[in-house]
């Protein structure tokens, strides 16, 4: 669930926006409404909100001050999370490239357009969240086998597992043809270099990890010297246990 902070000093305008957003957007909760800069800064510092709907036309330019506060304190949680609203005559050039500002909407706000932008933000946010969870599970499994993340090859193996996991419709039967080139292009290296690094990381894992741990991990279905493909296939099967 995405927590929304609404910063607006006009209660009637605020009520209309909040009601429309609540009725037309899933996965979002109106976490807090702030009618002043002080209240908004307090909520922002708590970092309990995810998305900020900010009226720049608050008294004494407080809306711009709030963006300055977030930028100055490098509150990374709010990167690309501010939806700024302002009068058509207001100059916004200096915040248009601000990394914390997602969109700038001119008044009168078209609520349907606002909701569309919010839904796009939510989709991207949830997608990144799911990606982080999956990648943490992959690392967890590699850690079990005592893979060393100081090796580039271990990082490449993690990327290979995620690539297969996130593209179930694709066939990656031949790693030399279907997978190593993808990782190589991403890192501006040759497929053979990626393969060598992956093999080196796996050989080091076999030397560093106890044989009984390896045998138990693979359910005694392979030798104490599993191939890269056996490692990846087994971890993917365990990922299936996580996500069904």
Q: What is the pLDDT of residues 2-23, one digit of tens each?
A: 899 999 988 888 888 889 998 8
Mean pLDDT across 115-133:
86
Helices (H) and strands (E) in the chain, counts: 10, 5
| pLDDT, tens digit, 9 for 90 and up, residues 183-200 | 999 999 999 999 999 999
| pLDDT, tens digit, 9 for 90 and up, residues 194-230 | 999 999 999 999 999 999 999 999 988 777 899 999 9
State the average pLDDT for the chain: 90
Residue 90 burial class via C-beta count within 10 angstroms: exposed 0-12, middle 13-18, buried 19 and up: middle
pLDDT at 61: 58
Residue ranges of E strands in the chain? 2-7, 28-34, 51-55, 82-86, 101-106
pLDDT at 110 over 90: yes
pLDDT at 60: 62
Instruction: Please report the domains of the chain, with CATH numbers, ordered by start residue.
Output: 2-126 (3.40.50.2300), 145-243 (1.10.10)
pLDDT at 22: 86
pLDDT at 194: 97
Distances in whole angstroms, Cα of residue 35 to Cα of each of 39, 61, 208: 7, 13, 59
pLDDT at 243: 42
pLDDT at 117 over 90: yes
The confidence band for 123, taking pLDDT boundaries of 50, 70 and 90, is confident
| pLDDT, tens digit, 9 for 90 and up, residues 69-98 | 999 999 999 999 999 999 887 788 889 899
Query: 219: closest CA among 209, 230, 229?
Result: 230
Structural contact between residues 202 and 153, judged by C-beta atoms closer than 8 angstroms? yes
Distances in whole angstroms, Cα of residue 180 to Cα of each of 128, 185, 229: 24, 9, 12
């Amino acid at each position: 669930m995405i927590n929304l902070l609404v910063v607006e000093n006009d209660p009637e305008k605020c009520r209309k926006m909040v009601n429309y957003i609540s009725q037309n957007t899933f996965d979002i909760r109106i976490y807090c409404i702030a009618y002043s800069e002080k209240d908004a800064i307090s909520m922002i510092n708590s970092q309990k909100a995810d998305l900020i709907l900010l009226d720049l036309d608050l008294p004494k330019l407080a809306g711009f001050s709030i963006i300055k506060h977030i930028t100055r304190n490098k509150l990374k949680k709010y990167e690309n999370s501010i939806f700024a609203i302002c009068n058509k005559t207001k100059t916004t050039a200096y915040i248009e490239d601000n990394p914390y500002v997602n969109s700038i909407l001119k008044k009168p706000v078209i609520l349907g357009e606002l909701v569309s932008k919010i839904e796009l933000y939510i989709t991207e946010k949830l997608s990144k969240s799911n990606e982080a969870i999956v990648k943490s599970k992959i690392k967890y499994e590699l850690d079990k086998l005592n893979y060393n993340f100081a090796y580039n090859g271990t990082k490449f193996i993690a990327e290979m597992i995620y690539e297969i996991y996130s593209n179930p419709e694709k066939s990656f039967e031949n790693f030399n043809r279907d997978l190593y080139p993808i990782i190589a292009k991403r890192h501006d290296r040759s497929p053979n270099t990626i393969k060598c690094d992956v093999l080196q990381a796996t050989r080091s894992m076999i030397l560093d990890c106890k044989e009984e741990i390896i045998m138990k991990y693979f359910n005694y279905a392979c030798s104490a010297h599993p191939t890269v493909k056996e490692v990846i296939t087994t971890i993917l099967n365990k990922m299936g246990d996580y996500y069904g």
